Amino acid sequence: MRADNPASQAAFLRASEYLDRKPLVSGKRSLAWITDHVCRIVEQPAPVWWWVATILTGALAALTPAMLTYLVATGVGVWGLNAPVAWAWDITNFVFWIGIGHAGTLISAILFLTRQKWRTSINRSAEAMTIFAVICAGIFPAFHVGRIWFAWWLFPIPNANAIWQNFRSPLLWDVFAVSTYFTVSLIFWYLGLIPDLASLRDRAKTRLRQMAYGLLSLGWRGSNRQWTHYEKAYLILAGISTPLVLSVHSVVSFDFATSIVPGWHTTIFPPYFVAGAIFGGFAMVLTLLIPFRELYGLHDLVTDKHIDNMCKITLLTGSLVGYAYAMEFFIAWYSGNPYELYAFINRATGPYWWAYWAMITCNVVAPQLFWFKTCRQNPWVVLAIVMFPNTGMWFERFVIIVTSIHRDFLPSSWGYFSPTWVDITLFIGTIGLFVFLFLLFVRFLPMITMFEVKNVTPEADPHHENGHETHGHPSPSPAARAHA
């Protein structure tokens, strides 16, 4: 590999600057540094900003149970729903959160199966985000029903009434799709945590931490046999998760696609929803990772290359979504059905025009900035840009749901929806809950998959000379390696 004469060596090094893949861990960090740096987040006392943020979001999160209590005690009428608009913020928020929950499993399962090594430093937090987003999502369909105390009728439990569910209803498919997705995502996430939890256990100084992480790591010793089993299990779960990534949001889209409402009744919905979900999910991953990378100094693990990759995915899926928007209009016109055409013209020019154009701006226009490398390279610019898809994807669901049903077939029944304070507070509550859970996660669990990141360091490469950390450098002290 290494040329003999210094000149050609220098040339090689120059060339490799352009030709070699950038390392996934920058800064020539040692394995020990990785462990240290990631575990330190959990082991050191929490910084002040963490306390401030956690208390603040915790207070916001408390709005969720408060609003739900009021809702259940009083009636669904506390929301702004009405006769033509029987679903509004409830289902908008549901689809929004479920969409957010997509990136996690996509990163951990599909990118795993396709051997995308760059996933390793972001998959843990993306999966955590998925779990929390699905928790927030699950609240809405559960509580949007008029009589939640009978919501258990959604499950096929044998009963004295000899009555079963309607398996033709997409809502029932939702029940199965979302609960399966949540369960598999949770197990997948937890399985991936086990080796790192063991590291935390081993480093723990207090008895309490030892017990806690000890319990959670389920007796992981890192033996060869355990690793073999682990890898098999992880591969199987990745295999199970992969179709779920596609199925969940497809099923969610069936809520609309199988209906007859102009604007909902669209065969493009399943792929369009999946693309939109990945789009929104990656935007949210970036939204969370950029500040935390900064706050915990994780630049060498979550590198600019990671951000760059995610920006490219965002650009791709954002453009897919834009294509879908255009195609919907085309089909509405091409169908020759005046009801369909009206639904789409009404989106763009009707009483909710602002929502539609907010959606277009945020989802289609804003991500185009990622064509420019400069935009992808400055994390703060990236953070600013991804706030648009975050907002835009909420508007997309609002536009699809509310503007389609507020004016459908009979003009006599046209109406308008405006949210009440309960709608707004509950949504803020779930945002608070989401961030609050994420803050707890970064505080108590390793937010980066240490063992997997170590796998993608150059050192982990069996061909790596002496197993050294970096090209052309003497190996660090054996002590450091032993410690890792």
Partner 1 sequence: MKRVLSHPAASAHGRTYWRSLGEYAQTPDFEDWLHREFPAGAAEWEQDPLSRRTFLRLMGASLALAGLGLGGCRRPEAYLVPFNQSPEWVVPGKTMSFATAQPRRRGAIPLLTTTFDGRPIKMEGNPLHPASQGKSDNHAQASILDLYDPARRRHLTLQGKKATAEQLDAEIQRIRTEAAASGGATLAILADETASPTRERLRAELVRQYPQATWAVYEPLAPGYDTEASTAAFGPGTQFRANLAEAAALLAVDCDFLGSEDGDLTDTRGFAAGRRIRKPGDRVSRLYVAEPRFSVTGSMADHRLRLRAGEVGAFVLEMARQVRSLRGSPELSAAITAAPDLGLPHEVDSAWIRECAADLVANAGKSLLLVGRRQPASVQALALAVNSALGSMGSTLLVQPAFALPAASLQALVARLQAGAVKSLIILGGDPVYNAPADLAFGNLLASVPTSLHLASLPNATSAKAKWFVPGTHYLESWGDALATDGSYLSIQPAIQPLWAGESQLEFLCRLTNRPKPVGPALIKETFAARINQSGLNLEQAWNNFVREGFLPAASSPTARSVNAAGVAALTAKLPEASEASAEFLEVAFVSSPAMDDGRYLNNGWLQEWPDPMSKLTWDNAILVSKKTAEALGLRNEIVKGILVADVARATLAGQSLEAPVMIAPGHVDFAVSLPLGYGQEELGPVAKGSGFNAYVLRRTDSDYLASGLTLKKTGKTRQLAVTQEHQMMEGRDLVREATVKEFNQNPGWVKKVGMDAHIPPNQNFYPAPTLDGDYQWAMVVDLSTCTGCNACVTACTAENNIPIVGKDQVMKGREMHWIRVDRYFTGEPEQPEAVAQPVACMQCENAPCETVCPVNATVHNEEGLNVMAYNRCIGTRYCANNCPYKVRRFNFFDYNQRSLEKLYWGPLAAKGTEETIKLQKNPNVTVRMRGVMEKCTFCVQRIEEAKITAKVRARDSANIRIPVGSLKTACQQACPADAIVFGDMKNEKEAVGQLRNLPQNYGLLEYLNVRPRLTYLGRVRNPNPAMPGARTSYLPSHGHGDETHHGQKKGVPH
Partner 2 sequence: MANIFPRWSNWLPIKILVCVAVVAASIVSGMAYYFTPKYTRVGYQPTQPVEFDHSLHVNQLGMDCRYCHTHVEKSSHSNVPATQTCMNCHTQIKALSPKLEPIRQAWKNGQPVPWVRIHKAPDYVYFNHAAHVNRGVSCVACHGHVNRMQVVWHDQPQSMGWCLECHRAPENHLRPLDQVTNMDWEPPAGTSQRELGQKFVREWNVNPPVSCAGCHR
Give residues in contact with partner 2 (CB under 8 A).
Answer: 158-163, 201-202, 210-211, 214, 218-219
Residue 424 interacts with partner 1 (CB under 8 A)? Answer: no
Closest approach of partner 1 to the CB of residue 81, in Å: 7
How far does the chain reach from its first CA to its final CA, in angstroms?
A: 27
Distance CA 473, CA 34 (A): 19
> What is the greatest pairwise CA distance in the chain?
87
Closest approach of partner 2 to the CB of residue 347, in Å: 38
Distance CA 319, CA 325 (A): 10
Residue appearing with tokens 């003999």: 4
Residue 412 interacts with partner 1 (CB under 8 A)? Answer: yes
Structure tokens given for 426? 């509950």
> How are the residues of the chain apportioned to helix, strand and coil, as percentages rounded to the nearest 5?
75, 0, 25
Rounded to a whole number of angstroms, the CA Rg of the chain reads 25
DSSP 148: G
Closest approach of partner 2 to the CB of residue 202, in Å: 6
Residue 62 interacts with partner 1 (CB under 8 A)? Answer: no
Scan residues 250-309 and list those touching partner 1 (CB under 8 A): 255, 258-261
Residue 70 vs 190, nearer CB to partner 1: 70
Residue 176 vs 323, nearer CB to partner 1: 176
Distant-in-sequence, close-in-space partners of 99: CB < 8 Å, separation ≥ 6:
249, 273, 276, 277, 280, 281, 393, 397
Q: Considering CB distances under 5 to 8 angstroms, the limit depending on partner class, which of partner 1, partner 2, none binds residue 414?
A: partner 1
Binding residues for partner 1, how many (CB under 8 A)?
55
Q: Considering CB distances under 5 to 8 angstroms, the limit depending on partner class, which of partner 2, partner 1, none binds residue 313?
A: none
Distant-in-sequence, close-in-space partners of 161: CB < 8 Å, separation ≥ 6:
none
Residue 16 vs 413, nearer CB to partner 1: 413
Residue 255 vs 452, nearer CB to partner 1: 255
Compute, in degrees rounded to 10, the torsion defined by CA atoms 199, 205, 208, 212: 0
Q: Considering CB distances under 5 to 8 angstroms, the limit depending on partner class, which of partner 2, partner 1, none binds residue 210?
A: partner 2
Scan residues 133-152 and list those touching partner 1 (CB under 8 A): 144-148, 150-151
Distance CA 365, CA 347 (A): 18
DSSP 108: I
Residue 154 vs 198, nearer CB to partner 2: 198
Identified binder of partner 1 from the candidate list 1, 7, 83, 479, rule CB under 8 A:
83
| Secondary structure E strands in 359-399 | none
Residue 169 vs 210, nearer CB to partner 2: 210
Q: Considering CB distances under 5 to 8 angstroms, the limit depending on partner class, which of partner 2, partner 1, none binds residue 162?
A: partner 2
User: What are the residues binding partner 1 (CB under 8 A)?
Assistant: 70, 73-78, 80-87, 144-148, 150-151, 153-154, 163-166, 168-172, 175, 255, 258-261, 337-339, 342, 405, 408-418
